[in-house]
């Protein structure tokens, strides 16, 4: 496995548990900071249930929505909507689960390149040494070594900017159990406030190529929230990349999962659940392939990974692309729709993992409205 984020560690855990000799190559050292909102939807929680003790920083029961700072409304739920984590704690828990299953994690082992021949795949490390494997699962992020090797293509690239702020107890209490989502001034953009105890994660995301506008949106957003006086402990940015519909997920003995494959939900840009699910699938089938006795069995196992992603995750991505198109053109209509009982119910069910966006767009009334807004 290349990369020790959620996708790589999910792959490592299931592969090792299946009896495959498993090594994870990670360029950093856990625990390490990761730019990420850190909100776990129900689908993510289901993927790790019984495997780790989730390091919960807050449970979200209230969501507040604004349209570029205006038209505020809030909705509350008795049941939790989201579980907030710090990625350094969450990823480290996944690392411990993978090593407990028998995987070996080599930290500070950056991969420079990948090659393969008829019998093996090889990961070349920064020091010039090589690691040989029957199968490599690339989970080292978008535009990474494994992503480039497989030839992943992206149709949507967004810039996310985020700060983590230490806040006093009074502000911590104000945001406890509550998130804010603000539909931004740039088409397809939004901002968020996610509470994590004494830390608030505040960020915005918009399409790449509008960096100055995105930075201005973040500054205005922080100022509007009366948080500008607090110095961030982290101030970072990253690009999220969403694959094209025909982008490859495999090249020979190399599979890609999570961000390396461009797998994420296009509207919310939620990627943790996609990473966990694609990683687990890749690890399962990589283990089968690595223990196969003939080339045909290996090819069948690795081809099944592609088929499984096309069955399970690609329909969700297509639905997300449709919702993003509607949102980009008519954010006010989406805002009003979420304020309705039907719209809120759908959003809450998505957060809890009770419903996917593909099932939302297949509902006659909601689906028809989204399709109409996406085209006009």
Indicate the fold that domain 156-242 takes in CATH: D-Amino Acid Oxidase; Chain A, domain 2 (3.30.9)
pLDDT, tens digit (0-9, with 9 covering 90-100), for 293-349: 788 889 999 999 999 999 999 999 999 999 999 999 999 999 999 999 988 998 999
> What pLDDT sits at residue 308?
97
Flag whether pLDDT at 19 surpasses 80: yes
pLDDT, tens digit (0-9, with 9 covering 90-100), for 133-191: 999 999 999 889 999 999 999 999 999 999 999 999 999 999 999 999 999 999 999 99
CB 248 within 8 A of CB 152: yes
> What pLDDT sits at residue 348?
95
pLDDT, tens digit (0-9, with 9 covering 90-100), for 190-211: 999 999 999 999 999 999 999 9
> What pLDDT sits at residue 294?
84
Tokens of 171: 């502000």
Q: Parallel, antiparallel, or unpaired: how do β-strands 154-166 and 232-243 relate?
A: antiparallel
> What pLDDT sits at residue 202?
97
Q: Is 128 exposed, middle or buried (0-12, 13-18, 19+ CB in 10 A)?
A: exposed
> What pLDDT sits at residue 368?
87
Indicate the fold that domain 6-56+85-154+244-315 takes in CATH: FAD/NAD(P)-binding domain (3.50.50)
Return the domain boundaries, the chain.
Answer: 6-56+85-154+244-315, 156-242, 323-375
- Regarding pTM above 0.85, the answer is yes
pLDDT, tens digit (0-9, with 9 covering 90-100), for 94-108: 999 999 999 999 999
**Residue ranges of the alpha helices (H) in 71-132?**
87-100
What span, in angstroms and rounded, lies between the C-alpha atoms of 51 and 30? 18
> What pLDDT sits at residue 360?
85
* Nearest one of 160, 177, 8 to 83, comparing CA atoms: 177
């Amino acid at each position: 496995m290349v990369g020790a984020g959620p996708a790589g560690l999910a792959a490592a855990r299931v592969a090792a548990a299946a009896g495959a000799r498993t090594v994870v190559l990670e360029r950093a050292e856990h625990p390490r900071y990761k730019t990420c909102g850190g909100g776990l939807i129900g689908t993510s929680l289901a993927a790790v249930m019984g495997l780790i003790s989730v390091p919960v920083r807050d449970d979200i029961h209230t969501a507040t929505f604004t349209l570029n700072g205006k038209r505020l409304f809030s909705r509350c739920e008795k049941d939790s909507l989201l579980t907030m984590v710090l990625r350094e704690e969450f990823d480290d828990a996944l690392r411990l689960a993978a090593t407990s299953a028998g995987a070996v994690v080599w930290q500070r082992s950056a991969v420079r390149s990948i090659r393969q021949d008829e019998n093996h795949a090889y990961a070349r490390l920064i020091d010039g040494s090589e690691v040989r494997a029957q199968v490599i699962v690339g989970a080292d992020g978008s535009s990474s070594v494994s992503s480039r090797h497989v030839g992943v293509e992206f149709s949507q690239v967004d810039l996310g900017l985020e700060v983590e702020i230490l806040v006093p107890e009074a502000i911590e209490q104000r945001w406890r159990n509550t998130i804010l989502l603000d539909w931004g001034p740039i088409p397809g953009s939004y901002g968020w406030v996610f509470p994590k105890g004494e830390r608030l994660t505040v960020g915005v995301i918009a399409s790449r190529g509008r960096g100055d506008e995105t930075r201005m949106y973040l500054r205005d957003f922080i100022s509007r929230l009366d948080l500008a006086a607090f110095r961030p402990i982290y101030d970072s940015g990253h690009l999220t990349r969403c694959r094209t519909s025909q982008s490859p997920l495999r090249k020979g003995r190399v599979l890609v999962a999570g961000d390396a494959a461009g797998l994420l939900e296009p509207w919310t840009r939620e990627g943790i659940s996609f990473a966990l699910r694609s990683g687990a699938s890749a690890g399962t089938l990589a283990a089968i392939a690595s223990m196969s006795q003939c080339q045909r069995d290996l090819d069948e196992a690795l081809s099944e990974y592609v088929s499984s992603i096309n069955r399970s995750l690609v329909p969700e991505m297509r639905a997300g692309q449709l919702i993003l198109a509607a949102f980009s053109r008519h954010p006010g209509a989406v805002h009003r729709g979420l304020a309705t009982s039907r719209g809120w119910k759908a959003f809450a069910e998505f957060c809890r993992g009770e419903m996917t966006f593909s099932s939302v767009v297949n509902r006659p009334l909601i689906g028809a409205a989204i399709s109409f807004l996406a085209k006009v």
